[in-house]
Structure 1
Amino acid sequence: MPAPHPSFDPVQQVQQLFTGHHAWLLSRLKVRLRNTAEAQDVASETFLRMVATPHPTIIAEPRAFLTTIAKRLLFSVWRRRELEHAYLEMLAQCPPELAASPEDRAVLLETLEHIAHALEGLPPQAQQTFVLSQIDGIGYLAIAEQLGISHSTVRRHMAEGFRRIALAVTRQNAGIGLPRS
């Protein structure tokens, strides 16, 4: 990693990046999310993550850098939307007498958010393995064949996914909120 320039001021760089690129990033996110409030949240989180970079250096391509961070956040937003949508579809199919109360729905959605956050830390192939198994209902051998990996790798990915979910649910039950990443 290149060393900072002798006159490099990280605070000034963040200010310049924010004033020079926030409106641009926000307009791109509004198009992708079709929701101004969500776009503002993702833009803010993008700049927060940029500030949290452990070793600040001069950023040669700020828009590419911000786009990379924002894309990762967008994938998280979209995954959460898919989970919530699937849950609400399932609820719509339940008879009214089995429907969850508003309080139960809130707890279930919070649990889904904790689970989604836990699975975000998995490598993409492990996430795909977990989704194929738990959402699509595909067996381990079929997943191994579909992804071109061994059966033991599928089992290892699944074990790590379940371990992360158990930890997330334990954190939620203990009243510990989602970590800020």
Structure 2
Amino acid sequence: VFVEVWQNRDKLAEIKKIKAWLLTITHNKAASYLRKKAGSMTSVSWDELAAHTIPDELQTPDEQLISREEMTRINKAIDDLPPRCKQVFVLAKIEKLPYKEIATMLDISVKTINIHVAKALEHIATALRKESV
């Protein structure tokens, strides 16, 4: 976490909620570590990750409500993805691993990762549009 903060030190002045930002980085690093340590992409469930979300006291009441509702819809859309697409999306967009690292880890091409991520984002956007109508 400290390395991440150091690497982004030039952006610190722009961050409005530094405590929330630090907790998010810590959460992401911990989840990534647990996955790597276990040697399995399924070792940390969505429920386990949800149990370690950013504390509500760091958000305004409006942000809490919107955040919970949106996250529920987004998580449902992610859960509905095909298994491989979901796995790639989680690694790329939630764990923020480089595409090359994911490609090596899963023994697929970077182009395939791009396709999975695009498909996942389209699916999530469509699901959010349907529920907001």
Which of the five TM-score ranges fits, normalised by the shorter chain?
0.5 to 0.7
Alignment partner of 1:114 is 2:73: yes
Q: Structure 1, residues 119-165: CA drift from partner, whole Å, max 9, x if none?
A: 22222111111111112110111111110111111111100110011
> Residue 123 of structure 2 is aligned with which of 155, 164, 174?
164
Over 3 Å counting, the alpha-carbon distance change for 1:82 and 1:166 in structure 2 is farther
5 Å matches for 1:21-100? 79=46, 81-86=47-52, 88=53, 90-91=54-55, 99-100=58-59
5 Å matches for 1:5-24? none
Contact (CA 8 Å) 1:144, 1:151: kept in 2 or not? yes
2:99 matched residue in structure 1:
140
Amino acid at match of 2:118: A
1:83 to partner: Cα distance: 4.7
CA distance in 1, matches of 2:82, 2:49: 18
CA distance in 2, matches of 1:164, 1:107: 20
Contact (CA 8 Å) 1:111, 1:172: kept in 2 or not? no
Over 3 Å counting, the alpha-carbon distance change for 1:114 and 1:123 in structure 2 is same
Tell me how large the CA RMSD over aligned residues is.
2.3
Equivalent residue pairs, number: 90
CA distance in 2, matches of 1:103, 1:158: 30
Secondary structure (helix, strand or coil) at the match of 2:124 reads helix
Greater gyration radius: 1
Over 3 Å counting, the alpha-carbon distance change for 1:151 and 1:135 in structure 2 is same
Q: Identical aligned pairs, as a percentage?
A: 29
Secondary structure (helix, strand or coil) at the match of 1:138 reads coil
CA distance in 2, matches of 1:82, 1:112: 15
Alignment partner of 1:130 is 2:89: yes
CA distance in 2, matches of 1:85, 1:133: 21
CA distance in 2, matches of 1:171, 1:83: 26
In structure 2, stretches of 5+ residues that fail to align are: 1-41
1:101 matched residue in structure 2:
60
Relative contact order (C-alpha < 8 Å, sep 6+): which is higher?
2
